Structure 1
């Protein structure tokens, strides 16, 4: 199968490209190498996917380009059987500073992908959305019928992506699925995330820093579970036109997460607290029953086991990864 992964050098996109290449598919990874964080980590994502293709029966091609370039994105969309649209201007806090840029990339760029797919033989477009679309919870866990009142430009852009995907399915018959990810983590994750920072500080004998009082809760989802949900959509149309939560097996307070990492890596450290950013969501917790019903989605990684897996990977890759975390 010919697969286009936009944002294919990023965290989730890189893992998808790696898995699909290893599985024997022909993968094109499309990425603009936006320096939201050090591009060195994207280079590692590319190298990992290239090795996977060499070890398996698939192929891998990297294209450096921008979603906002209609002509370029149309060319690669037209050649793909399935599109995994992961590319976006990431970052809730960054979106508060540059809302127009977020809109241009996330919304206008997505429209370019959908419009190109509408005019092609594309079998399905899978759009990466986010739990940020929910905003302040009216109840937990969030199900897909919960109201969507995002509290950041990033969340608003992700909601717009979903709505355009739904409209292209309903009006033009383009098979689309939107996946609302809940705080994805794992090897080669963005270096400015809470888990990577907690692990780095503990391994260096420094106390984890918690922003706010730490009672914020998150549904942390391991990257392998996210990849499996996407992989299922290569061969099933049961979720076409739908929006699905992709979360984990449990929900955890940030301060409890920090304690868990501290206790695993450096039990003698005290926790530190700093001012919370207002753009950060207070709570996220996914009801994944719809994804289970339509895709058979069953996340397998608990937060404790996931932290252990990530910490082991961190130690093995510390030479190149830690400088990125420390500078983020």
Structure 2
């Protein structure tokens, strides 16, 4: 049994990571900004900015590795508080890296984001193209990624970052237009946007994202420090809306034309490196993910 520290363990991805680790027999030490859960699923309160609390938790057990999911997640979060974005996403990551360095942990897996790229050129987009984030969120994830790599180079810490694309699932609490379309359809509400019908999205279900992170924890032959990880299903938002309509015929969706004016304009991301080194293959199609999300929301099990 390995003991894995999972940061952000009450969040969309962290919760799925913790569940997958427990299912295979690992012990999970889960932390988040607010305590939650019970028995073996307990998540302890710990703000990533509180380095003393982090080290106290690490000292109380023998950790093997860290999967770092804790962060302000997405460019729509804390947009009006960029200073806090930097404190949580950058300083918080540095605090977690210090735990890994001081306790000489086997590996740290860092959740990064395709937001580090900003707008991209023609796809497929591979990991070594220039990264030009257009948001403070994207810049914080890029900074965290670079610091994570620097800890590997300078201090010999085994680290890897996964650049996750648009993560969705019924338990998502921050805004996600895909989840919104499903929730609106179930509630008999229309979904309307002023733009975005032609925006390309490579969604990834939270369970697939968690699988990739666990694969990165286990991988024996990492040839690079960062990997694109997506659902490998690139569609326009119009095409995604059509999937929602197929599953929920009552859905009333009208998307404004053109790209999403509130997001980066990105092309297809290449995940061949993650397939090769992490042995990662997405298992949940967009159709299956939307169907499962609809069933979960209808049954009131999300939360």
Calculate the TM-score normalised by the size of structure 1.
0.84
* Cα distance in 1 between the residues matched to 2:165 and 2:103: 31
| Gap runs ≥5 in structure 1 | 34-41, 51-58, 322-328
1:290 positional shift:
0.6
Deviation at 1:60, TM superposition (A): 4.2
Q: Does 1:66 align with 2:67?
A: no
Which residues of 2 match residues 90-239 of structure 1 at below 5 A?
90-190=73-173, 192-239=175-222
Which has a greater percent of helix? 1
- Inter-partner Cα distance in structure 2 for 1:268 and 1:165: 43
How much does 1:285 deviate?
2.7
Q: Secondary structure at 1:234's aligned position in 2?
A: helix
CA contact (8 A) 1:77 1:122 kept: no
CA distance in 1, matches of 2:268, 2:249: 28
State the partner residue of 1:23.
24
Could you tell me the TM-score, scaled by structure 2's length?
A: 0.91
Q: C-alpha offsets along residues 253-281 of structure 1, whole Å, 9 cap, x if unaligned? A: 11221232123213573525499874412
- Computed over aligned residues only, the root mean square deviation of the Cα atoms, in angstroms, reads 2.3
Q: Please state whether the residue corresponding to 1:196 is helix, strand or coil.
A: helix
Q: 1:270 to 1:88 in 2, by over 3 A?
A: closer
How far apart, in 2, do the equivalents of 1:275 and 1:204 lie?
Answer: 27
Which residue number in structure 2 is paired with residue 53 of structure 1?
none
SS at match of 1:231: helix
Cα-to-partner distance string for 1:302-321 (whole Å, 9 max, x where unaligned) = 21222112111211226x65
- Which piece of structure 1 moves more, 69-78 or 286-295? 69-78
Partners in 1 of 2:48 and 2:178 — Cα distance?
A: 29
What count of residue pairs does the alignment treat as equivalent? 300
**1:276-300 deviation line (CA, Å, top 9, x unaligned):** 8744122353200010111111112
- Determine if contact 1:136/1:282 at 8 Å carries over to the other structure: yes
- Partners of 1:141 and 1:77 in 2: CA distance: 40
Secondary structure, counterpart of 1:212 in structure 2: strand
1:264 to 247, 251, 254: 247
Task: Provide the residue aligned with 2:9 in structure 1.
Answer: 8
